[in-house]
Structure 1
Amino acid sequence: MATETSKDSAQAEAMKILSQAGIEGVRVVSDTGKPVNSLGPEDILFERIKPKGDEKVFIQNIDDAPVCYTLEDFYATDGRTTINRLFRTYLDKHNLTATEAMHSAREMKRLLDDGTLLFSAVAKVATFQAAKLEDTNANERRETLFAYVDQINHLAQKTLQRPMPRIRDVGLNEGVAELKASAAPEELDYLIRSALATELVENRSFVGKLGQAVDWAVIAEDPATITALDIYISDILHNADVLRDMLGHQRDLASALITMICFANGEPIGEEPEELTIEHPAYTNIQLNRLIGSGKLPESKAILVDRVRRQLEGLSPLSKGDREEEREVFHGLLDKLIPDINIVGGPDMAEAVTARQSTIINKGGQKGMKEAAASVLPTLADPGRKAGYLLSLLESKLGVEVLGAEIDNHLDALLVGSPSVNHLVREKLPPNKKMAKVTSIFNQINKSALPDNRKEQLTTRIDELLATYIVDGKILDKIDKSDRPLHVRAFMLVSLVQPEMLPKGKASNLAREIIVNHLKRPNFEADLVSQIPDPKDQANTLRKFHEQLHRCGFFG
């Protein structure tokens, strides 16, 4: 950055800076005191982008492509992800995202004029898609895809013929309001994306695009606008430079992946200022982190998680040290990926974890994958984490095609082979937390891809373990002591049969029986609140107790 006293000298200095290596563009602006992100066209005195080299751009290799059944599939997550990967070098060369390219008539024309590039991409995708479809071949599928490309181009050209608000002139929410007032409901989502593309295409920096999109997302009032911005932000996150800028300096790949998981979970990265202003150097990162954490950007979160998965499946070492350090940092990574029974990234991540473990133990092939899955389990320690990993792995391609029998054996060893709850959950936890942990496994099994008869076998075993634990540990006797106020005992008993505490079955029926006996007592409600002096507190206690009974299914 430099300052000059005249436009001519500033322009001359800008051209000197542009000639330096690593500089892609320069801009001379008036010294108005405005933040960089708030500059308008009237503030820009001179701008020049360094021409990209004429190096040949090739379509990137991909190992699969989803089938596009409708035009909307191209704009959807899987379609855009495929386009972003196929055209990565092209998009990076022109500082574009897939969604910008599909909504800008000018960019669509440039792509169509780019010789064999589009043909190569369509041919590659057609081959993958034809293999998944009956009664079609690659040539026929190619023609179908080109017809979709024509429709995409037609829509982009058609938008030029209609009045469109300029967001930079009228504001984001005002521009969307204009579109909502004039557009048919079925075309509104497309037109919002198109209006955003008009602005973003003019920003020839991925970091700049991200800053602008995040700024808009912070002030966006309409859910459709947030959805559209999530699309653009998720596309921008495919760019490697953006990710490097977002993550900052990292010690090694494992550290970078852990930071990315934290970002995807909306966990603050580093200290945040008490009052965040646009001048703060991490303003965009912090706002993006907050938006993801609030659940407003699910596609952007998914892109970060998928990036972690692909890096985990790759061959790059996680650490810069020896094999033992690689093991240690991988265990730290597992703490973030599998914090409890739900694995971040689901079945695909479970497969990636197994693939990375096979690299660490240096054993390949099917035998190596089987050993890898077995050796991941001891590092997880917690039974809920083990069950979550196994049940997610079961739904992966690796689980379906290779590891089905091994996963069954591991589940048997974990659940059927445990003689008691205390053997299954070895941590020194209070009874309610132990029961909740075991119940979470029960519920996860019911949601899993296991066959129904296998689910019944395992859940019946878990129910038996819980019932034995309650009886042998005299859990109900300890709760239902006569010297304890009735309303305290009642709430503790009802809490015991909450869905997250005990599943329906033998174990919960033991507690339910005691609750039912209490409910049958004459004047039960009066006795329930007899030791609560305040009438208002009595009424609130009765209301909350009935709400809990309803939640536990006592009234149907």
Structure 2
Amino acid sequence: MSSPKTSFEVQVLDGKHWVIAEMAADEDKAKAFAENLVQAGNHAAVRVVKDYQRIDGTHTETVLLEKQIAQKGPGDPTLASITEAPLCATLEDFYGQPSRTTIGRLLRKYLDEALITPFELLHDQKEMKRFGDKGNLLFGAIDRVSALQAKAAGDENSKARKDFLDKSWEQLMARAKDFVAKKPKTPANFTDAVNASGGDAFTLRALMTLALLEKRSWFGKLDMVIAWAAEPAGQANMAVIDAVIADLMVPAQVIQDLLGFQSNLSAALCTIVNLVEGKGEAAKFAPQTFTDLNALFAQGCLPQSREVLMARVIREVGGVNPLSRNDPSQEYEMFHKMLHRLVDKDSVTGGPPLAESLLQRGSRVLNSGGATVAAPQALQLMLGALADGCVRLQFLLTLCASSLGKSMGEVLTEVLEAHIRRSSHMDQWVAVRLPPPARMAALSAAHKALKSCPVLVDGFKKPLADLIDEVMVKYLTEQEIIEKVDKPDDPLAARAIRLVKFCGAGVLIEGKSLNMAKARVVEHLRQKQFEEKFVASCPDPSQGEKALRDFHKLLVECGFG
């Protein structure tokens, strides 16, 4: 039975729900963090909640501080709200995917009205001038971004960043103007653009922009870029094609039309994940573009586009939009289905940020009362919803590397340790329905995931990894796995080869369990006249010497030296 624990959660009001923004073991630190959020003014309300875990495992929450934040007056309605902006150190950084994604989110309304991507905006003089002449939009955008960048850098004065952004905008304009002065022709295809660029990266992008601007619909641009990817020149320059596709994956309308009919948000998010993994199946009303994109994702050609789409999934999973808007009674079921699509024994799709978003969503959905519950309670509910011990361990290890996981500190590591210590049998780790090789491989992978987790110290990991190895030893013993591999009635050659291959198959844990199997191999090798007996037991004695040589090679390949 655990001892009493006290933690402090800083929560922010997100719509109608309180969402955990930070966790601290100290009350003063929690309140200081809350005050910083109040000063930033990015949330409707902030509060500090003391969570006390009794000896019996139940929790009591006490609100220590709660502040409503006066809402700022409306700014430029064409600027969207963003909470972070990547730092650009060089002019080329402005053309990069993090910068373009930020522009795409900040200027979403303007870009949708103009039907241009950030890629096009940054490479065309006319579009840059049109944007600059749009009232105070340019100045407002620079002010917003410079303030966020200064805050992220710990600089209270954003003037230096503002001056840098102003100067950089002028340089971007000058570069686009120089390109126009050369009177370039719109390329007929991507090969023409590559040939006309003379190997200059900016010129290639600017030529692509000329062709893109002639398409006055999102899908017109997208289909053209996909056609470019099919050209030999496109296959050799996929990074720049991926950049345009990534920008086209930001508008919500593009995603909605691309996915076709989706019964709810949960289904849509799972379809996006299937798409970026190259496993998507076109839904009803989905355009051919979906299938074409799926093929490119399957080839691993679109890392930037994958990042943009997964960022959308992470935001939506952690957000407050219902997973089943038309049927609220299905909210839990839809979350459960999405959870098992995103988390398996090998990974959490989307990594630590998605693990954090899942916990935030789970803190609302899994609680039958409907309100947000404390992170430790939500974590226990999440673990109960996951399939088996290996999947639970993968989720916990991934969560450890997230911002929320790090802020949870000992609360999370204690849950992780408790999970491993109470899972003392194979049945608690892997589904019984799986065949023995798959069960052993899954447990071995869990062991490796724990040992390789970079955010946990070795002194914490080693004893827990040894416990998992003990589970494998118990399974080998109870199920007589080694005895079934080393069947006494079979010829010696067949038994020895099977045993060595079993040791080298990667299904055993490097420790006691692997040593058990290796000991049986060594037992055979040390018997008198092993080689003569091996050759004699071969199906074709004339091939016995060759079989023995192959066996010795196999020994080396499987780590017997």
TM-score range, shorter-chain basis? 0.7 to 0.9
Instruction: Choose which of 333, 337, 343 in structure 2 pairs with 1:338.
Output: 343
2:356 is aligned with 1:358 = no
Q: TM-score, normalised by structure 2?
A: 0.77
1:141 aligned partner: 161
Partners of 1:443 and 1:538 in 2: how far apart? 38
Q: Which moved more, 1:285-294 or 1:320-329?
A: 320-329
Instruction: Report the CA distance between 1:373 and its aligned residue.
Output: 1.8
Q: Relative to 1, partners in 2 of residues 1:539 and 1:144: Cα closer, same or farther, differing over 3 Å?
A: farther
Instruction: Choose which of 253, 269, 287 in structure 1 pairs with 2:265.
Output: 253
Flag structure 2 segments of 5+ consecutive residues without an equivalent.
Answer: 1-75
Instruction: Choose which of 238, 245, 262 in structure 1 pairs with 2:250.
Output: 238
1:99 aligned partner: 119
Q: Which letter does structure 1 place at the counterpart of 2:344?
A: P
Partners of 2:185 and 2:493 in 1: how far apart? 62
Q: Relative to 1, partners in 2 of residues 1:482 and 1:252: Cα closer, same or farther, differing over 3 Å?
A: same
1:481 aligned partner: 487
Q: Which letter does structure 2 place at the counterpart of 1:217?
A: A
> How many residues of Structure 1 are paired with residues of Structure 2 in the alignment?
482
Flag structure 1 segments of 5+ consecutive residues without an equivalent.
Answer: 1-55, 273-279
Q: How does 1:107-506 map to 2 (within 5 A)?
A: 107-133=127-153, 137-162=157-182, 166-168=186-188, 171-179=189-197, 182-183=198-199, 187-188=200-201, 190-221=202-233, 223-270=235-282, 282-320=287-325, 323-360=328-365, 361=367, 367-401=373-407, 403-448=408-453, 449-486=455-492, 488-498=494-504, 500-506=506-512
- Residue deviations 1:107-160, cap 9 Å, x none? 222222333212222222222222232567311122122233233323323333
Instruction: Report the CA distance between 1:321 and its aligned residue.
Output: 5.2
The answer (yes or no) to whether the contact 1:415–1:462 under 8 Å persists in 2 is: yes
Q: Relative to 1, partners in 2 of residues 1:451 and 1:507: Cα closer, same or farther, differing over 3 Å?
A: same
The answer (yes or no) to whether the contact 1:253–1:317 under 8 Å persists in 2 is: yes
The answer (yes or no) to whether the contact 2:491–2:538 under 8 Å persists in 1 is: yes
More strand by share: 2
SS in 1 for 2:349: coil
Instruction: Report the CA distance between 1:486 and its aligned residue.
Output: 4.8
The answer (yes or no) to whether the contact 1:518–1:524 under 8 Å persists in 2 is: no
- Residue deviations 1:450-507, cap 9 Å, x none? 2222222321221222223323433222212243345543454344344742232222
Partners of 1:509 and 1:71 in 2: how far apart? 57
Q: Relative to 1, partners in 2 of residues 1:156 and 1:445: Cα closer, same or farther, differing over 3 Å?
A: farther
1:546 aligned partner: 553
The answer (yes or no) to whether the contact 2:259–2:283 under 8 Å persists in 1 is: no
Instruction: Report the CA distance between 1:526 and its aligned residue.
Output: 9.5
2:47 aligned partner: none
Partners of 1:541 and 1:323 in 2: how far apart? 67
Instruction: Choose which of 538, 555, 558 in structure 2 pairs with 1:531.
Output: 538
RMSD of aligned alpha carbons: 3.2
Q: Percent identity?
A: 31
SS in 1 for 2:509: coil
Q: Relative to 1, partners in 2 of residues 1:59 and 1:487: Cα closer, same or farther, differing over 3 Å?
A: farther
Partners of 1:145 and 1:546 in 2: how far apart? 63
Q: Which letter does structure 2 place at the counterpart of 1:419?
A: S
Partners of 2:534 and 2:262 in 1: how far apart? 63
Partners of 2:518 and 2:185 in 1: how far apart? 62
Q: Relative to 1, partners in 2 of residues 1:471 and 1:321: Cα closer, same or farther, differing over 3 Å?
A: same
Q: Relative to 1, partners in 2 of residues 1:506 and 1:196: Cα closer, same or farther, differing over 3 Å?
A: same
Q: Relative to 1, partners in 2 of residues 1:225 and 1:426: Cα closer, same or farther, differing over 3 Å?
A: closer
Q: Which moved more, 1:309-318 or 1:133-142?
A: 133-142
Q: Which letter does structure 2 place at the counterpart of 1:462?
A: I
Q: Relative to 1, partners in 2 of residues 1:531 and 1:454: Cα closer, same or farther, differing over 3 Å?
A: same
The answer (yes or no) to whether the contact 1:341–1:387 under 8 Å persists in 2 is: no
Instruction: Report the CA distance between 1:218 and its aligned residue.
Output: 2.6
SS in 2 for 1:167: coil
The answer (yes or no) to whether the contact 2:430–2:439 under 8 Å persists in 1 is: yes
